[in-house]
Structure 1
């Protein structure tokens, strides 16, 4: 029995040893009030984060189908969002959270909370911040600052630089590439898609179901 337990522990340890260079780079381009984005993030993305985070680098980019114009008088960018000013605020809140809490273990609980709750954007953000140990005052100040404006502009540039250009949201890339086939598979089963692109020698147990 003792030998079996030791062997089992060693096997579990081996599975955890993976080369970071083998990780699948997954990026999601989204906007905060888009129904399809919210559904994808609170189902496919959340499950992937919860089960196979050790084989994937997840990046989220809150901008989506927004447009920006530069105001030379204020030296700030003005944003117009698909779902109105509330979405622009939601995008900016997520942008500031990602800046101050860059670790996925920090920002994902907050992002999932806001994307799974309907209502006033500021009220929800404040409630979710309290639940997930995010300093809301810091985030709120950021959304009204030059820093927040510049950070949102950076996401605008990143989104508008996509090749091929994005046509809708959610829009995903895997290892920097996008195809319609990838998109459809991600929406059906992101875990399966990620496992298919993982080239490491020790795939997690969850991937064995799909290989």
Structure 2
């Protein structure tokens, strides 16, 4: 009965080495796939109102927990994350949490947090710069090029930040004002809370979660071939060309 229903709704027949599709009577089926949409003359509408929304909902959520002067973090961001950003951003949401192996101490007299970082005060400063940057420039296409630039450039933390801001059209004066404010201190505290709340707790950095999940196997895959991990995790339609070899 099911087969008969399908055949009566969508008539598929072989024509000149390919398949031709008749448009179903029910509009609910017009966006089931690209061939049906084309037969019904609604490809543009399906792409705008159905497929794009569906793909956005199916995007893979990658969160990178890191610290700015960690050599392994710098390597991971400047290679694996940057490659994923350039090639498969259409199926990927990337979030950065700059804190890593730092720890914080609340100072009741100032009502501020004091941060102590694995690679010293310069790293705490770098983490704070990144926290403010991500808050002010919330779109990935705005903040990731700056993060990539700073993580792939050696030198004094603020000098590099200013240079990278110029290269990536970031207003560093806004970032600097945030860094020196209570807002910046609170943003870094929120990163501390998010990092310390990880389950399982992070043991090293970089530490990644994919759709909120972390496993050792996932971490190893991410550090070896992040694009492959994301492509294999993605369950939506119309994967980018870069994913074809993983499907």
TM-score (norm 1): 0.92
Residue 147 of structure 2 corresponds to: 111
**Runs (5+) with no aligned partner, structure 1:** 1-6
Q: Deviations over 1:86-145 (max 9, x none)?
A: 000000000000010000110011111100101100100011111111111111111111
Residue 204 of structure 1 corresponds to: 240
**Distance in 2 separating the partners of 1:134 and 1:205:** 31
The CA deviation at 1:201 is 2.3
The CA deviation at 1:15 is 8.7
The alignment of Structure 1 onto Structure 2 pairs a total of residues equal to: 202
The CA deviation at 1:183 is 0.1
Q: How does 1:54-203 map to 2 (within 5 A)?
A: 54-203=90-239
Q: Deviations over 1:160-196 (max 9, x none)?
A: 0000000000000000000000000000000000011
**Distance in 2 separating the partners of 1:15 and 1:183:** 34
**Distance in 1 separating the partners of 2:211 and 2:163:** 34
Secondary structure, counterpart of 2:243 in structure 1:
helix
User: Is the CA contact 1:68–1:78 (under 8 Å) kept in the aligned structure 2?
Assistant: yes
User: Is the CA contact 1:15–1:202 (under 8 Å) kept in the aligned structure 2?
Assistant: no
User: Could you say which structure has the greater relative contact order, defined with CA pairs below 8 angstroms and 6 or more residues apart?
Assistant: 1
User: Is the CA contact 1:15–1:204 (under 8 Å) kept in the aligned structure 2?
Assistant: no
4+ aligned runs moved over 3 Å, structure 1: 13-18
**Runs (5+) with no aligned partner, structure 2:** 1-34, 39-43
TM-score (norm 2): 0.79
